[in-house]
Chains A and B, each alone.
Chain A
Amino acid sequence: MLGIERSIRRHKVIPFQSFIADLCLPRYFVGASLARIGFGLILLYNYLIHYSQRYYLWSNFGYQTKTASISLYNLDLNLGLFDIIYHLGIVFTLLYIVGFKGRFTSIIHFVLTYSFIEKSLYLSDGGDNLLRIVLFYLLFANVTAHFSIDSHRKKQLIHRNPVVIQFRNLLHNLAVLCCIIQLAILYLTSGLYQVMGENWENGTAVYYIMQVDLFSNPALRNLIIHNDYMIVLATYFSVFIKIAFPFLLFNKKTKYLIVSCVVLLHLGIGIMMGLITFSLVMIVMDLLLLSDNEYFSIVQKSKRLCRKAKVSYLLRIRNQRATASQFLVFYDGSCPLCRESVRKLNVINMNRLVRYVSFRDPSILTRYGIDPSKAEARMLGLNLSNNKMYEGIYTFAQIFKKNRLLIPMWIFLYILGKIGVGQSIYDYIARRRFVVPIGKCDSNCPIR
């Protein structure tokens, strides 16, 4: 009872306390888990796409000998030992992706990735540079809270000590915060260097970059370099986005705008300049920018949208099916009995699969190529899904078949038709019907 009373008692706190209390809450676990998978997949791609060239690119027997950097690949290794390290890199990247033994795997994965990137020398780019730094920060984060083997295994082993939980949350949130600050520094610095450059200032930098074979997509570069508007727009877009990033990121309303712009920028860089893994690393980094609540809200909204889309899709399909399987009946609009029958049938025509048109209307005859004498002798029906024409008792059979309420009648007519008396009975009734001008004897007209 005392505990409950204590828990409902609230008291004011100073801003620092409030800030630390916020940092101790579980906030950025979904983004960190998604980033783990994203970074892991990019690294796995790098390992596998260069698998055949691994000795040439990373061993001491390739185009480079030992480098000055610290890397396992710089040890005196023969090709066998080199292979062990390279394959360990692949295995630990896989374990990192699936989130197995989070902390231990993260450390080994970091050492192997650090070695891999440090030995890459001429192969690496800004994406690798950022990845190496961010993977270090993420060593202090819980990157296996979601979408991992650990998250399933540890469900029963949740730590009960609140101080330990709070400290872990604090470490995790600070690690993610470090990643975000690092990203902001990257954009701000890059933007500052751009502002200093004459070609970035006068809006022509992209024109020059697009002419460098190593950093241009030959299929698309002419679209840019022959269009002054595109050159200037792309150049200034890049500068503005980078400079604006740190300032717009920490506002809830502008965050989504700047993140969308950054993703757009990197998609452009990936497609136009061919810097595939660089762009992917930068886009995956953006996953860290959203909090768990934002992810849950995105999921909820997506589910709602999916449900709406599904319902509208099903409705559309149903309407399409209904239209396709519609049955068109050419009744005699001058026959009061027929008109009355159609009126009554329309009342129970629930699913609107049967449509009634009078063959006395000349436009109907032309449109469907109906022979009026034939239609007068027997009521015609057209199945719109296969353009099959029915007449007399078979038209009635189809009308009944299309209406669930009249299915028993359809069975009855079907049997009559099969034994050969159905059409004769129909003809007998049809021949004896009244044919009068419209508006007279509208109901209850007797058979002669």
Chain B
Amino acid sequence: MKKSYKTDSLPHPIIYIGAFALIMGIVIHFILTMLNVVPFNPVSRRLQPVLQLHSSLLFAQDWHLFAPTPIKENQILYMQVKMKSSNSEDVITSEWIDITTPLVYGNQSNFFSPFNRMARIPQGIIQHVFHSDEVSESYLNLHKNGELSEEISKNMSAIQQAGLANLYRYTSSYAKYLYPSGNIIEVHPKLVIEEVVPFSKRYDKNVTKKLSYLDFEWKPFDPNVISIY
């Protein structure tokens, strides 16, 4: 059934032109957005430069949200600290210190606290250090050599290096908090990955969680970074 309007209430002709242009712009914008966020496909691969340009500044988005594979591990950062003894020239190495769990416990004891977001830092750093994205991975799998492959590899490496730098800054900030008057020389982060209990073994009381470790190298302590607390 067609609607009828009062003549006076109909929009001015110039409004139709403006509306048409705006609606077209919105349609194109959301087609590009959709292609950018849906699983990687031949069309999004073909339009990759346009999609990257479109999403680079204002419309960057990622809606994986624990999918397709949910997180199945707890990533815990530890650190060791090398300090100069205050009485002698001896260098003391600390025990392994858990620099993740206190933040996670802080969050679990009160969701309405700064820990609610701060607890994400260690895991965020780890993801940054082992950064990979669907598009780059897919391209590199297809083209091992070539100028673009080299550029992509270089970009990925640069991102990972930035993550690594943040890992040492975070470690240094925690060391500064734990040893405020200590003469810290170097920090040594380590990642412990604790896999969760598989669904099939949930009632098995003797099941042990699988642990894996990744040692990072000793690096100089950054005295300029602010203490975490």
Instruction: Please tell me if B10 contacts chain A, counting CB pairs below 8 Å.
Output: yes
Cα separation A136 to B61 with both chains bound (whole Å) = 14
Cα separation A276 to B104 with both chains bound (whole Å) = 15
Q: Which residues of A contact B38 (CB under 8 A)?
A: 189, 192
> Chain A interface: which of B106-114, B143-151, B210-218?
B106-114
The answer to whether A21 touches B5 (Cβ under 8 A) is yes
The answer to whether A17 touches B16 (Cβ under 8 A) is yes
Interface size on B, residues (CB 8 A): 78
Task: Look across to chain B and name the residue whose beta carbon is closest to the beta carbon of A51.
Answer: B114
Would you call the interface of chain A mostly helix, strand, loop, or mixed?
helix
The answer to whether A212 touches B71 (Cβ under 8 A) is yes
Q: Choose among A50, A189, A218 the residue that contacts B63 (Cβ–Cβ < 8 A).
A: A189
> Chain B interface: which of A4-12, A91-99, A331-339, A364-372?
A4-12
Instruction: Please tell me if A407 contacts chain B, counting CB pairs below 8 Å.
Output: no
Task: Look across to chain B and name the residue whose beta carbon is closest to the beta carbon of A187.
Answer: B63
The answer to whether A65 touches B19 (Cβ under 8 A) is no
Cα separation A23 to B34 with both chains bound (whole Å) = 24
Cα separation A276 to B112 with both chains bound (whole Å) = 8
The answer to whether B116 touches A196 (Cβ under 8 A) is no
Cα separation A3 to B57 with both chains bound (whole Å) = 50
Cα separation A7 to B18 with both chains bound (whole Å) = 24
Q: Which residues of A contact B108 (CB under 8 A)?
A: 213, 216-218, 274
Interface size on A, residues (CB 8 A): 87
The answer to whether B70 touches A209 (Cβ under 8 A) is yes
The answer to whether B57 touches A70 (Cβ under 8 A) is yes
Q: Choose among A68, A129, A192 the residue that contacts B61 (Cβ–Cβ < 8 A).
A: A129
> Chain A interface: which of B46-54, B79-87, B180-188, B195-203?
B195-203
The answer to whether B117 touches A123 (Cβ under 8 A) is yes
The answer to whether A55 touches B7 (Cβ under 8 A) is no
The answer to whether B7 touches A11 (Cβ under 8 A) is yes
Q: Which residues of B contact A204 (CB under 8 A)?
A: 199
Instruction: Please tell me if A186 contacts chain B, counting CB pairs below 8 Å.
Output: yes
Of the listed residues B5, B30, B73, B113, the one surrounded by the most CB atoms of chain A closer than 10 A to its CB is B5
Instruction: Please tell me if B123 contacts chain A, counting CB pairs below 8 Å.
Output: yes
The answer to whether A198 touches B69 (Cβ under 8 A) is yes
Instruction: Please tell me if A251 contacts chain B, counting CB pairs below 8 Å.
Output: no
The answer to whether B11 touches A185 (Cβ under 8 A) is no
The answer to whether B120 touches A122 (Cβ under 8 A) is yes
The answer to whether B224 touches A190 (Cβ under 8 A) is no
Hey, which bits of chain B sit against chain A, CB under 8 A? 2-12, 14-16, 18-19, 22-23, 26, 29-30, 33-34, 37-39, 57-74, 101, 104, 107-108, 111-114, 116-121, 123-125, 127-128, 162, 165-166, 169-170, 173, 196-197, 199, 202, 224-228
Instruction: Please tell me if A423 contacts chain B, counting CB pairs below 8 Å.
Output: no
Report the minimal beta-carbon distance from A426 to chain B, rounded to whole angstroms.
69
Cα separation A182 to B32 with both chains bound (whole Å) = 12
Q: Choose among A121, A136, A177 the residue that contacts B124 (Cβ–Cβ < 8 A).
A: A121
The answer to whether A123 touches B30 (Cβ under 8 A) is no
A123-151 to B contact mask, C-beta < 8 Å, 1/0: 10110011011001000000000000000
Report the minimal beta-carbon distance from B178 to chain A, rounded to whole angstroms.
15
The answer to whether A174 touches B23 (Cβ under 8 A) is yes
The answer to whether A123 touches B71 (Cβ under 8 A) is no
Q: Which residues of B contact A305 (CB under 8 A)?
A: none
The answer to whether B8 touches A63 (Cβ under 8 A) is no
The answer to whether B118 touches A205 (Cβ under 8 A) is no
The answer to whether A49 touches B114 (Cβ under 8 A) is yes
Instruction: Please tell me if A157 contacts chain B, counting CB pairs below 8 Å.
Output: no
The answer to whether B6 touches A17 (Cβ under 8 A) is no
The answer to whether A61 touches B224 (Cβ under 8 A) is yes
A91-131 to B contact mask, C-beta < 8 Å, 1/0: 00000000000000000000000000000111101100110
Of the listed residues B60, B125, B225, B226, the one surrounded by the most CB atoms of chain A closer than 10 A to its CB is B226
Q: Choose among B11, B65, B121, B199 the residue that contacts A123 (Cβ–Cβ < 8 A).
A: B121
The answer to whether A189 touches B199 (Cβ under 8 A) is no
Within 8 A of B (CB), among A213-256: 213-218, 225-226
Cα separation A197 to B71 with both chains bound (whole Å) = 12
Task: Look across to chain B and name the residue whose beta carbon is closest to the beta carbon of A136.
Answer: B58
Can you identify 26 A-B contacts, CB atoms within 8 angstroms?
A7-B8, A10-B5, A10-B6, A13-B3, A23-B19, A49-B113, A50-B114, A50-B117, A53-B114, A61-B224, A63-B121, A63-B228, A121-B124, A122-B124, A122-B127, A123-B117, A167-B18, A171-B22, A174-B26, A181-B26, A193-B65, A199-B69, A207-B199, A213-B104, A216-B108, A277-B117
Q: Choose among A133, A166, A181, A196 the residue that contacts B67 (Cβ–Cβ < 8 A).
A: A196
The answer to whether A200 touches B11 (Cβ under 8 A) is no
Q: Which residues of A contact B26 (CB under 8 A)?
A: 174, 177-178, 181
Cα separation A242 to B101 with both chains bound (whole Å) = 32
The answer to whether B64 touches A56 (Cβ under 8 A) is no
User: Given known contacts A10-B7, A24-B15, A50-B117, is B74 in contact with A197 (CB within 8 Å)?
Assistant: no
Cα separation A132 to B117 with both chains bound (whole Å) = 17
Report the minimal beta-carbon distance from B225 to chain A, rounded to whole angstroms.
7
Report the minimal beta-carbon distance from A393 to chain B, rounded to whole angstroms.
66
Q: Which residues of A contact B66 (CB under 8 A)?
A: 205, 209, 215
Q: Which residues of A contact B123 (CB under 8 A)?
A: 122, 214
Q: Choose among A18, A207, A209 the residue that contacts B202 (Cβ–Cβ < 8 A).
A: A207
The answer to whether A212 touches B112 (Cβ under 8 A) is no
Q: Which residues of B contact A12 (CB under 8 A)?
A: 2, 4
The answer to whether A11 touches B4 (Cβ under 8 A) is yes
Q: Which residues of A contact B124 (CB under 8 A)?
A: 121-123
Of the listed residues A11, A68, A171, A208, the one surrounded by the most CB atoms of chain B closer than 10 A to its CB is A208
Q: Which residues of B contact A197 (CB under 8 A)?
A: 67-70
The answer to whether A122 touches B165 (Cβ under 8 A) is no
A334-353 to B contact mask, C-beta < 8 Å, 1/0: 00000000000000000000
User: Given known contacts A163-B14, A193-B39, is B71 in contact with A208 (CB within 8 Å)?
Assistant: yes
The answer to whether A185 touches B30 (Cβ under 8 A) is yes
Q: Choose among B7, B15, B34, B125 the residue that contacts A7 (Cβ–Cβ < 8 A).
A: B7
Task: Look across to chain B and name the residue whose beta carbon is closest to the beta carbon of A203.
Answer: B199
Q: Which residues of B contact A63 (CB under 8 A)?
A: 121, 166, 169-170, 173, 225, 228
Q: Which residues of A contact B226 (CB under 8 A)?
A: 55-56, 59, 61-62
